[in-house]
Amino acid sequence: ILRNGNIRSIIMRNIRSLKLHSVLTRDLDQKTRTELYDIWQQNITGKNSYEDFTALLGTFDRTYIVRDYSNAGKICATGSYAVLPTDLRINSRQIHIIPTGVAYILPEYQRRGLIHKFFLHMTLRENLLHPFTPLYITINFLTYKYYPAFLRFSEHAYPRYDRPTPDMEKKIMEYYVLHYLNCSDTYDPERGVVQLPQTVKGEALLGVANVSWK
């Protein structure tokens, strides 16, 4: 029987074996693309062909991959994002949105702070590259279980249960649905959900968060 100290030691060793890699999506090699596709097929309801998957992946500029080097470098988590200008402005500054997608964490690697690590690395990088640009993450959750982690990541994440969504965040979600998801006809602004073909239960929950430093 392992004592608590030994359990914590094993957990810490496992966490240290996880390494995050940030790669331009266009630079992903064939082997890695195939691995990502296999993970997607195993864990997302609604099967896609490899060609459809790579086309979807190609809509994102950058891909994060977490590998477990205690398990032969196995890919255990992935996420992608893009940075896109919008027609919206704050104090004459053009707002950019950061759509995220093609993301999954294998069940045995969940609850290890990987979602927080994704968001933190992404927002640090993009704020350094765009220090004076209003930046908003936009995300659609195919399953609701990751949404609490999104709310914990930022007090500026919406929609929330404890306060109403600000008007600007509402405009950004509507812009995201209309210009990026191309499915404004199925968007329910009151509930913050939209119908997507690859969703697990017929709808996706939308989220938005201001991640600008200024």
- Measured from the Cβ of residue 22, the count of other Cβ atoms closer than 10 Å reads 12
Amino acid at 155: E
Q: What is the mean pLDDT of residues 159-184?
A: 85
DSSP SS3 for 172: helix
Higher per-residue pLDDT: 62 or 110: 62
CA 15 to chain centre: 20
pLDDT given for residue 11 in this prediction: 37
Q: What is the mean pLDDT of residues 143-150?
A: 75
Higher per-residue pLDDT: 199 or 182: 182
- Measured from the Cβ of residue 191, the count of other Cβ atoms closer than 10 Å reads 11
Where residue 83 falls among pLDDT bands split at 50, 70, 90? very high
pLDDT given for residue 202 in this prediction: 64
Burial bucket for residue 169 (CB in 10 Å: 0-12, 13-18, 19+): buried
Instruction: Work out the angle at residue 152's Cα, subtended by the Cα atoms of residues 171 and 193, and round it to the nearest 5 degrees.
Output: 40
Domain ranges of the chain: 18-210
Best CA proximity match to 36, nearest among 8, 92, 94, 77: 77
pLDDT given for residue 24 in this prediction: 93
Higher per-residue pLDDT: 143 or 6: 143
Asked whether the bond before 189 is cis by omega within 30 degrees of 0, the reply is no
Angle between helices 30-43 and 50-57 (to 10 degrees): 110
Distance from C-alpha of 5 to C-alpha of 98, rounded to nearest angstrom: 41
Q: What is the mean pLDDT of residues 143-163?
A: 80
Q: Is the pLDDT of residue 82 over 70?
A: yes
Where residue 190 falls among pLDDT bands split at 50, 70, 90? confident
pLDDT given for residue 6 in this prediction: 36
- The pTM (predicted TM-score) of the whole model is 0.79
C-beta separation of 138 from 100 below 8 A: yes
- Looking at domain 18-210, which CATH architecture does it have? 3-Layer(aba) Sandwich (3.40)
As given in the structure block, the two tokens for residue 152 are 């914990």
* pLDDT tens profile 6-45: 333 333 345 678 888 889 999 999 999 999 988 887 766 5
